[in-house]
């Protein structure tokens, strides 16, 4: 039985022992930033991250401001370039060719259609801190972890999925006694969200690390897995016909949700006692009573995502 699954405490009116530990993204990111400081102290110059803002989207503006502030506080250079969206393609190409620029981030949405996907592929792979280049995405889904046979340079992973992985490592959901790449073996995880930006990549990452993952969206449930005994090198996907949260949640050691909007809530009564819950939506997908069931709860992940972005920048600058 998972060490995260236990009976709920029976409390009296005079003695209630909390069973849930709420872990903030700030707490997790502090440790990750300390590791980054060790990595950058011997560099001859501060790595430069250039951000492109080409829309009036409020979320993009906040993200850009937050990126700049966090980067500068932690020993990185950041330059925000506000441009007209019709000029963005040329400006990205210029930044690709500028040897002083170590990393590039583009704040989406811009056009809100396939043209945004085209722009993602314009960013030079050597400067793609977001991990959105086709080669990086291919490696992620194929469970290829390095860019070269000598394993000297890691493949970049998209920031938000990698942030969730780092949180799970911090919470010791990953079993470090197992070999690297298999450390989620025995875990059952539900990911609620199957977007191409976060949900599907996250399910693939977790399954490639050995978990059995139920990927849930509004239409259906899919299972991501490397098969019985982790016999496959990379994950495969199967349809769970007729399944919904009612079948997935009671089986899951970990539940990760990122549904946009304030209407969706994960049904607390379906959660397994001692579950680990992580919310990556800007809205709270879990009701307050989740703390009566969960053993670990992470209500937001924003600052961890920024930390991972800067980690990717460090990889690009080497």
* Chain position carrying tokens 């930006």: 197
C-alpha 57/C-alpha 109 separation (Å) is 7
Residue 248 bears catalytic tag: no
Task: Exactly one of 159, 248, 276, 316 is catalytic; name it.
Answer: 159
Q: Phi and psi dihedrals of 103, rounded to 5?
A: -150, 155
Spatial CB neighbours of 232, under 8 Å, sequence gap ≥ 6? 226
Which residues form the catalytic set? Answer: 159
């Amino acid at each position: 039985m998972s060490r995260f699954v236990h009976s709920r405490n029976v409390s009296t009116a005079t003695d209630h022992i909390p069973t849930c530990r709420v872990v903030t993204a700030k707490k997790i990111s502090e440790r990750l930033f300390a590791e980054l400081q060790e990595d950058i102290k011997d560099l001859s110059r501060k790595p430069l991250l250039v951000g492109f803002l080409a829309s009036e989207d409020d979320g993009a503006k906040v993200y850009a401001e937050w990126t700049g502030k966090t980067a500068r506080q932690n020993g990185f250079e950041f330059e925000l370039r506000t441009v007209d969206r019709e000029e963005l393609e040329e400006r990205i190409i210029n930044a690709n060719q500028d040897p002083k620029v170590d990393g590039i981030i583009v704040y989406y949405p811009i056009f809100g259609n396939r043209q945004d996907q085209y722009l993602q592929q314009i960013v030079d792979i050597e400067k793609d801190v977001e991990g959105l280049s086709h080669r990086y995405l291919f490696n992620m889904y194929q469970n290829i972890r390095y860019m070269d046979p000598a394993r000297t340079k890691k493949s970049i992973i998209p920031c938000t999925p990698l942030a969730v992985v780092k949180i799970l490592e911090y919470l010791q959901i990953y079993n470090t006694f197992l070999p690297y790449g298999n450390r989620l073996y025995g875990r059952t995880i539900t990911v609620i969200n199957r977007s191409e930006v976060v949900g599907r990549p996250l399910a693939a990452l977790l399954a490639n690390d050995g978990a059995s993952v139920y990927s849930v969206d509004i239409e259906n449930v899919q299972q991501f897995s490397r098969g019985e005994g982790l016999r496959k090198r990379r994950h495969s996907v199967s349809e769970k016909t007729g399944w919904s949260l009612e079948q997935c949640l009671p089986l899951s050691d970990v539940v990760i949700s990122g549904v946009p909007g304030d209407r969706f809530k994960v049904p607390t009564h379906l959660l397994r006692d001692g579950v680990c819950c992580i919310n990556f939506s800007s809205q709270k997908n879990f009701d307050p009573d989740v703390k009566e069931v969960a053993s670990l709860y992470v209500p937001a992940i924003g600052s961890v995502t920024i930390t991972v972005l800067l980690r990717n920048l460090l990889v690009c600058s080497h």
